[in-house]
């Protein structure tokens, strides 16, 4: 055997601190290697041991999720956390995979490309499971709607998601848009993708089999985002304002997305999967080749040899460090049996996708990377990918929590006269928190692929996955950071409850949970307390509902200077419906239907939209969460959908009953005559945000059966009134509104802030 | 190898909303005096010595520009 | 003439709505025949659909690269012989770039991508693709595009208007600044049709706003099978 090459000399610089490695982390690298690392090794360890890639601060807390997942909950799971994205069996031989991931910091620096590449990245994650991506949802959070920088960030992010997703041919079917001043210097862009595959075709990323070839395919490798994701996602911004100082600020290297390349890559990958030419596959995301080579090698049972000279480059003169850390988009890496390489290359050629063998699986236990005939990396791959540092960060409940709880919303002035209540309804409907999102969602293609059964503004998105059996899946994302600020444990469970309810009101049965945990700096003990509480709330909530967490993503360092964002766990729930023709549309149904309210209303205004919009107040306790009741309501809805008893349904959440009634009328295009329950104060009845409540439009003839269902499941029912032929929402003894008035009020806010997407009439008759 | 530059701009009679958006944005940045902007495309071609002017005009007119909506110029550097 | 109408559906790299177009063809009782961008013949199909999407990324101009591919040359030849051709969205852009239809599609005046359920008026039910519609029919079909603004010079516009070749017009406000509110136009013989809205996404109330788009495909089948209703 050839003597090992001397990889480093004592003179090689070791700028580990600049690369973000702590002293003890560097010492550990010296110990692992028994020598000083090369520049390439140092770069590799530093990106892979970053918070973004290693989960070093969150790992110890996330373990709790696995510990609380029972065998019964795992029954439908074919793959869970640890793989790129969880996979759940949904029936008829189909499996579904879904995941949500943050692209927050890049979207602040360059909103269009940041958001676009966020969509691209999550779509490749789904492809790496061997699945065909079928739908996207985006959970977005910005500073105040009328803030100057929001006018820079929001239109860019929305155009980026649309520009990438529309060109990729994936329908955008859901998501959220939330405004809060805490996101002013740190917007949240969390992109979710759903994919489907046959159960028999599940591909897991590994590199077993000595002699198997490592094939890099897709875009060429350039100097995009060197250290981009990893550095951007792990270091907070200074208080500078990029929007105001574009010319002088130093731009971090931003990756640029090519959705056309990704569309071709999807079709190419699916053809490769169908032909059985892929032994293992992984996408290239943050940390690029560093990540993919070390993860593929350590997930297999051998070593790996990689030749960087074989990597197709876009820029001349790239160093090994640059090649290894490049975050050029639209690339995938496959493990291919030697006998399949020719066929693999032929499929890539058909799609005009560049594909190159860059290495092979070896029988050693080392990842060895060469360049220009020199060994630039020689490491045990697990130490890079899986055995990174683990931190038990200090956790401390902030002393400010008590003061926040003491500052209840009880003392806030409440409207009591009919006129004041009417004015409050209109003010709330037009508020940035509750107004129509059409300005955003009309920039997304919701029709492509022809399987979209429900899309925004429906409570959940739903797509058909089988045209013969009509099986479909529904997905919703939710998160209420104000509730989480008041109580991160309960707040996270409320987010879970809302996403669960939003899936259930479509008639689908919730099956699985994914999450994106957006928090401040993990070095802040108060932030770590929020994080720990959120993880425990989520895990305990999932155990109570009996549905597993199948994947997740953590984003720390979301802050401007020293001020963290509100704790923002975003929860995604996926459900299945065995026949999409029985889905329940969001709304009230039609004339002849009766309007029912399921659930109980209490005086709960802590963290509410009303307290925020009318008083700028955040204090007290969030609404009580009752997951057993959520489950019972879900069962009522599933049965009602199965038996065709209801023609419309809408979940009650932000803004309470008033908002739900307004939206349900507008979405169904019908009026309603309702009477508020006499035992509750009208203001509380209209605006409280008590959870576990749903509005139903019940078919006239089915009232008895729905009432029986609710009794059987212990769900309280209030009959509010009926759908009316007149286009008026009439709340007895309080107010009435024409639908035209409500629609104009609901729809005008975002266009008035961000400009009308349509040109004025006739402006454009060809003259300039 | 000679370099050829092809510039493509929307014809004067075609509304150019991108150019108009720039015109409207300039005063908001405190930059005044710009009456009109036409946004176009700039192509740089490295061509063999024997590529003649007629071929260059075909390249520009048949692919790089759409004569229905765009004008173009060809320059050898 | 064959008893089954065979309608080709072209896929370019970047085509997105080919699956949907094929579904609509099937729903209208015809047989969809997949055509690949590199094909230089049309496998004897009776009609061709050039579907929507972003062929070649639309990076140069929408439809510009696709218009020069082998399969498009075959489409031009076939159209000269009277084969029915339908271009939807990117397909309409491609047909204009290829010179099969006059004018061009440019960026929306509002600069945004616009996805909405669009009301249209059927201005001419006498083309090969619109025989099933009543004159002046009011239909709802999804529109989803960012380069959907139809432009043409004055003489082309007056020719189109004078000859009844404006087949679909936007109602309820012009969504993109198209001249004369034009949503779709036909060739002089009425056998080549291009439109920005997506009839293939309006064939089933479960997944679209209406079933108004299906008659477009039925009309083509009627034409091909020689049973155009009067």
Render pLDDT for C39-89 as a digit per residue (tens, 0 to 9). Answer: 999 999 999 999 999 999 988 889 999 998 999 999 999 999 999 999 999
Beta strands per DSSP E along A380-529: 452-454, 461-464, 472-478, 509-518
Distance CA C7, CA C33 (A): 6
Chain C positions in Cβ-Cβ contact with residue A443 (cut-off 8 Å): 112-115
Mark out the alpha helices in A505-626 (DSSP H runs): 525-545, 609-615
The closest of A365, A298, A285, A384 to A333, measured between CA atoms, is A285
Name the average pLDDT for chain B: 88
Residue B66 has its nearest CB partner, among C102, C104, C177, at C104
Q: Which two tokens stand for residue A608?
A: 């509410």
Q: Which two tokens stand for residue A748?
A: 């005008």
pLDDT category, A243, cuts 50, 70, 90? Answer: very low
Render pLDDT for A709-718 as a digit per residue (tens, 0 to 9). Answer: 999 999 999 9
Render pLDDT for A686-706 as a digit per residue (tens, 0 to 9). Answer: 999 999 999 999 988 899 999
Our measurement of the distance from residue B40's CA atom to the centroid of its chain's CA atoms, rounded to an integer in Å, reads 4
> A66-70, A196-200, A763-767, B6-10: which has the minimum mean pLDDT?
A763-767
Chain B positions in Cβ-Cβ contact with residue A759 (cut-off 8 Å): 17
- In sequence order, what are the beta bridge partners of B45? B4
pLDDT category, A82, cuts 50, 70, 90? Answer: low
Distance CA A758, CA C113 (A): 10
> Does the pLDDT at position A478 exceed 50?
yes
The secondary structure of residue C170, as a DSSP letter, is E
Residue C34: which residues within 8 A CB-CB, separation 6 or more? C8, C9, C11, C18, C22
- In sequence order, what are the beta bridge partners of C118? C141
The closest of A536, A472, A423, A511 to A61, measured between CA atoms, is A536
Pairing of strands A728-731, A77-79: unpaired
B42 touches chain C (CB under 8 A): no
Chains in contact with A, where contact means 3 or more Cβ–Cβ distances below 8 Å, are B, C
Backbone phi, psi, residue A386, to 5°: -120, -20
> Does the pLDDT at position A134 exceed 60?
yes
> Which H helix or E strand runs over C85?
strand C84-88
- The pLDDT of residue A679 is 87
Instruction: Pick the catalytic residue from C89, C147, C201, C218.
Output: C89
Give the chain B residue nearest C106 (alpha carbons).
Answer: B69
> Which H helix or E strand runs over B34?
none
Any idea what the Cα angle at residue A119 is, between residues A118 and A122, rounded to 5°? 85
- The pLDDT of residue A758 is 60
**Taking CB atoms and an 8 Å limit, are C110 and A757 in contact across chains?**
yes
- The pLDDT of residue A761 is 41
Fold of C6-224: Rossmann fold (3.40.50)
A351 touches chain C (CB under 8 A): yes
Name the average pLDDT for chain A: 90
Give the chain B residue nearest C67 (alpha carbons).
Answer: B63
> Does the pLDDT at position A229 exceed 70?
no
A757 touches chain C (CB under 8 A): yes
B25 touches chain A (CB under 8 A): no
- The pLDDT of residue A317 is 84
| Mutation for testing the C interface, residue in B68, B70, B71, B72 having most C CBs under 10 Å | B68
| Chain pair A-C, CB pairs under 8 angstroms | 112
Q: What ipTM was assigned to the predicted interfaces of this complex?
A: 0.95
What mean pLDDT do residues A539-566 have?
A: 94
Where do the domains of chain C lie?
6-224
> Does the pLDDT at position A519 exceed 90?
yes
Where do the domains of chain A lie?
15-49+204-243+251-388
A317 touches chain B (CB under 8 A): no
What mean pLDDT do residues A213-231 have?
A: 76
> Does the pLDDT at position A238 exceed 80?
no
CA distance A37 to chain C (A): 42
CA distance B14 to chain A (A): 6
> Does the pLDDT at position B38 exceed 70?
yes
The secondary structure of residue A308, as a DSSP letter, is G
| Mutation for testing the C interface, residue in B45, B66, B72 having most C CBs under 10 Å | B66
**Taking CB atoms and an 8 Å limit, are C177 and B21 in contact across chains?**
no
CA distance C81 to chain A (A): 31
> Does the pLDDT at position A242 exceed 80?
no
Our measurement of the distance from residue A6's CA atom to the centroid of its chain's CA atoms, rounded to an integer in Å, reads 46
> Which H helix or E strand runs over B67?
none
- The pLDDT of residue B30 is 85
> A78-82, A151-155, A296-300, B65-69: which has the minimum mean pLDDT?
A78-82
Chain C positions in Cβ-Cβ contact with residue B23 (cut-off 8 Å): none
Percent of the residues in chain B that have a pLDDT greater than 70, as a whole number: 100
Residue B68 has its nearest CB partner, among C104, C107, C108, at C104
Name the average pLDDT for chain C: 95
> Does the pLDDT at position A730 exceed 60?
yes
C161 in catalytic set: no
What mean pLDDT do residues B62-70 have?
A: 88
CA distance B72 to chain C (A): 14
CA distance C34 to chain B (A): 27
Strand order in the sheet with A132-142: A77-79, A86-91, A94-102, A188-198, A132-142, A172-179
Give the chain B residue nearest C60 (alpha carbons).
Answer: B64
Return residues 135-194 of A near C (CB < 8 Å).
159, 162-163, 166-167, 169
What's the number of domains chain B is made of?
1
Q: Which two tokens stand for residue C69?
A: 């591919």
> Does the pLDDT at position A211 exceed 50?
yes
pLDDT category, C8, cuts 50, 70, 90? Answer: very high
pLDDT category, C227, cuts 50, 70, 90? Answer: low
Contact C129, C83 (CB under 8 A): no
- The pLDDT of residue A2 is 40
Render pLDDT for A430-447 as a digit per residue (tens, 0 to 9). Answer: 999 999 999 999 999 999
Any idea what the Cα angle at residue A164 is, between residues A158 and A168, rounded to 5°? 140
CA distance B15 to chain A (A): 5
Chains in contact with C, where contact means 3 or more Cβ–Cβ distances below 8 Å, are A, B
- The pLDDT of residue A253 is 61
> Does the pLDDT at position A1 exceed 80?
no
What mean pLDDT do residues A84-94 have?
A: 89
The closest of A609, A605, A563 to A181, measured between CA atoms, is A563
Q: Which two tokens stand for residue A486?
A: 């008041």
> Which H helix or E strand runs over C9?
strand C6-11
Chain B positions in Cβ-Cβ contact with residue C103 (cut-off 8 Å): 68
C98 or A228: which carries more pLDDT confidence? C98
What mean pLDDT do residues A369-381 have?
A: 94
> Both ends of chain A: CA-CA distance in Å?
76
> Does the pLDDT at position A760 exceed 90?
no
Q: Which two tokens stand for residue A410?
A: 């009880």
Residue A75: which residues within 8 A CB-CB, separation 6 or more? none
Task: Tell me the catalytic residues of A.
Answer: 52, 103
The closest of A266, A320, A262 to A288, measured between CA atoms, is A320
| Mutation for testing the B interface, residue in C61, C65, C157, C176 having most B CBs under 10 Å | C61
- The conformational region for residue A458 under phi > 0 = left, psi -120 to 50 = alpha, else beta, is beta
**Taking CB atoms and an 8 Å limit, are A447 and C198 in contact across chains?**
yes
Chain B positions in Cβ-Cβ contact with residue A243 (cut-off 8 Å): none
Using a cut of 0.80, tell me whether the model's pTM lies above it: yes
Distance CA C71, CA C36 (A): 7
Strand order in the sheet with A549-555: A452-454, A461-464, A472-478, A568-577, A509-518, A549-555
Q: How far is CA A53 from CA A119, A126, A186, in A?
A: 18, 18, 20
Which CATH number fits the domain that encloses residue B22? 3.30.1280.10
pLDDT category, A413, cuts 50, 70, 90? Answer: very high
Render pLDDT for A330-348 as a digit per residue (tens, 0 to 9). Answer: 999 999 999 999 999 999 9
Distance CA A472, CA A654 (A): 27
> Does the pLDDT at position A31 exceed 80?
yes
Chain A positions in Cβ-Cβ contact with residue C206 (cut-off 8 Å): 453, 464, 580-581
Pairing of strands C6-11, C31-36: parallel
- The pLDDT of residue A3 is 34
CA distance C36 to chain A (A): 11
Render pLDDT for C20-46 as a digit per residue (tens, 0 to 9). Answer: 999 999 999 999 999 999 999 999 999
- The pLDDT of residue A203 is 61
> Does the pLDDT at position A768 exceed 80?
no
- The pLDDT of residue A240 is 38
Distance CA A761, CA B6 (A): 35
pLDDT category, A10, cuts 50, 70, 90? Answer: low
- The pLDDT of residue A562 is 85
**Taking CB atoms and an 8 Å limit, are C68 and B63 in contact across chains?**
yes
Render pLDDT for A18-29 as a digit per residue (tens, 0 to 9). Answer: 888 999 999 999
| Mutation for testing the B interface, residue in C60, C95, C150 having most B CBs under 10 Å | C60
Please tell me the class of the A15-49+204-243+251-388 domain.
Answer: alpha beta
């Amino acid at each position: 055997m050839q003597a090992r090459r001397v990889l480093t000399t004592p003179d090689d610089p070791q700028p580990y601190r600049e690369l973000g490695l702590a002293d003890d982390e560097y010492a550990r690298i010296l110990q692992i290697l028994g020598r000083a690392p090369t520049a390439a090794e140092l770069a590799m360890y530093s990106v892979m041991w970053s918070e973004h890639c290693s989960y070093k601060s969150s790992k110890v807390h996330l373990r709790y999720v696995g510990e609380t997942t029972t065998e019964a909950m795992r029954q439908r799971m074919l793959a869970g956390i640890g793989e790129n994205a969880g996979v759940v069996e949904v029936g008829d031989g189909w499996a579904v995979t879904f995941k949500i991931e943050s692209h927050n910091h890049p979207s602040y620096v360059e909103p269009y490309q940041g958001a676009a590449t966020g969509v691209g990245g999550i779509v490749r994650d789904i492809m790496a499971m061997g699945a065909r991506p079928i739908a996207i949802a985006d959970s977005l959070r910005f500073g105040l709607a009328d803030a100057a920088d929001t006018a820079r960030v929001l239109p860019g992010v929305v155009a980026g998601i649309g520009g990438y997703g529309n060109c990729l041919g994936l329908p955008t079917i859901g998501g959220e848009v939330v405004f809060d001043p805490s996101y002013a210097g740190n917007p949240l862009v969390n992109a979710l993708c759903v994919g489907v595959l046959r159960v028999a075709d599940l591909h897991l990323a590994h590199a077993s089999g000595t002699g198997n070839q490592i094939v890099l395919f897709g875009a060429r490798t350039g100097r995009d985002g060197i250290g981009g994701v990893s550095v951007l996602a792990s270091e907070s911004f200074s208080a500078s304002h990029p929007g105001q100082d574009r010319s002088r600020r130093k731009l971090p290297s931003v990756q640029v997305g090519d959705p056309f390349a990704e569309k071709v890559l999807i079709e190419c990958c699916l053809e490769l999967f169908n032909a059985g030419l892929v032994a293992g596959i992984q996408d290239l995301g943050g940390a690029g080749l560093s990540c993919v080579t070390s993860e593929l090698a350590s997930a297999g049972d051998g070593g790996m040899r990689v030749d960087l000279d074989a990597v197709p480059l876009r820029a001349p003169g790239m160093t090994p460090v640059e090649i290894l850390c490049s975050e050029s988009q639209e690339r995938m890496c496959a493990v291919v049996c030697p006998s399949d390489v020719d066929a693999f290359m032929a499929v890539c050629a058909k799609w005009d996708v560049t594909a190159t063998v860059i290495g092979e699986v070896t029988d050693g236990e080392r990842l060895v990377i060469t360049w220009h005939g020199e060994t630039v990396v020689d490491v045990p791959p697990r130490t890079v990918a899986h055995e990174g540092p683990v931190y038990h960060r200090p956790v401390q409940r902030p002393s400010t929590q008590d003061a926040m709880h003491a500052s209840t919303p009880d003392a806030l002035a409440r409207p009591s006269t009919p006129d004041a209540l009417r004015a409050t309804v209109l003010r709330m409907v037009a508020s940035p928190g509750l107004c129509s999102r059409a300005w955003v969602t009309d920039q997304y293609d919701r029709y492509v692929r022809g399987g979209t059964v429900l899309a925004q503004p429906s409570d959940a998105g739903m797509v058909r996955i089988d045209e013969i059996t009509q099986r479909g899946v529904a997905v919703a994302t939710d998160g209420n950071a104000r509730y989480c600020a008041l109580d991160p444990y309960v707040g996270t469970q409320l987010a879970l409850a809302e996403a669960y309810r939003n899936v259930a009101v479509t008639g689908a049965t919730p099956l699985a949970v994914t999450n994106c945990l957006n928090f401040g700096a993990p070095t802040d003990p108060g932030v770590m307390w929020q994080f720990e509480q959120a993880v425990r709330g989520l895990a305990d909530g999932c155990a109570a509902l009996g549905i597993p967490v199948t994947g997740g993503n953590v984003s720390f360092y979301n802050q401007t200077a020293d001020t963290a964002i509100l704790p923002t766990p975003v929860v995604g729930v996926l459900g299945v419906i065995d026949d999409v023709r029985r889905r329940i549309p969001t709304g009230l149904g039609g004339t002849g239907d009766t309007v029912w309210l399921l659930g109980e209303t209490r005086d709960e205004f802590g963290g509410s939209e009303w307290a925020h919009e009318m008083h700028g107040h955040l204090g007290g306790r969030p609404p009580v969460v009752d997951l057993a009741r959520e489950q019972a309501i879900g069962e009522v809805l599933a049965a009602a959908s199965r038996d065709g008893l209801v023609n419309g349904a809408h979940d009650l959440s932000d803004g309470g009953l008033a908002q739900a009634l307004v939206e349900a009328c507008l979405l169904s295009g019908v009026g309603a005559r309702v009477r508020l329950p006499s035992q509750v104060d009208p203001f509380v009845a209209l605006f409280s945000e008590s959870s576990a409540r749903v509005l139903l439009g019940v078919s006239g003839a089915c009232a008895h059966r729905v009432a029986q269902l609710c009794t059987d499941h212990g769900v309280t029912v209030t009959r509010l009134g009926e759908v009316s032929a007149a286009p008026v929402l009439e709340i007895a003894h309080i107010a009435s509104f024409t639908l035209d008035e409500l629609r104009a009020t609901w729809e005008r806010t975002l266009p008035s802030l961000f400009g009308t997407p349509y040109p004025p009439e006739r402006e454009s008759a060809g003259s300039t | 190898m000679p370099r050829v530059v092809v510039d493509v701009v929307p014809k004067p009679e075609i509304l150019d909303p991108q150019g108009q958006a720039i015109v409207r944005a300039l005063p908001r940045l405190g930059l005044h005096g710009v009456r009109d902007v036409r946004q176009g495309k700039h192509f740089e071609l490295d061509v063999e010595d024997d590529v003649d002017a007629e071929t260059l005009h075909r390249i520009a007119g048949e692919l790089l520009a759409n004569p229905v909506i765009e004008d173009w110029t060809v320059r050898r550097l | 003439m064959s008893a089954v109408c065979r309608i080709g559906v072209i896929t370019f790299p970047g085509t997105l709505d080919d699956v949907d177009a094929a579904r609509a063809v099937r729903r209208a009782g015809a047989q969809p025949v997949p055509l690949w961008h590199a094909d230089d013949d049309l496998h004897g199909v009776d009609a061709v659909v050039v579907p929507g999407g972003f062929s070649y990324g639309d990076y140069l101009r929408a439809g510009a690269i696709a218009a020069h591919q082998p399969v498009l040359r075959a489409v031009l030849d076939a159209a000269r012989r009277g084969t029915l051709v339908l271009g939807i969205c990117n397909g309409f852009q491609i047909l204009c770039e290829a010179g099969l239809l006059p004018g061009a599609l440019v960026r929306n005046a509002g600069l945004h991508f616009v996805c909405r359920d669009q009301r249209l008026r059927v201005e001419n039910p006498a083309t090969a693709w619109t025989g099933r519609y009543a004159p002046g029919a009011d239909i709802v079909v999804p529109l989803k595009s960012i380069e959907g603004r139809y432009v043409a010079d004055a003489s082309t516009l007056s020719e189109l208007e004078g000859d009844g070749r404006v087949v679909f017009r936007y109602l309820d406000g012009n969504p993109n600044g198209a001249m004369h509110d034009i949503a779709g136009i036909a060739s002089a013989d009425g056998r080549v049709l291009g439109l920005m809205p997506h009839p293939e996404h309006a064939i089933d109330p479960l997944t679209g706003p209406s079933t108004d788009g299906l008659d477009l495909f039925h009309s083509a089948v009627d034409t091909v099978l020689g049973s155009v209703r009067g």
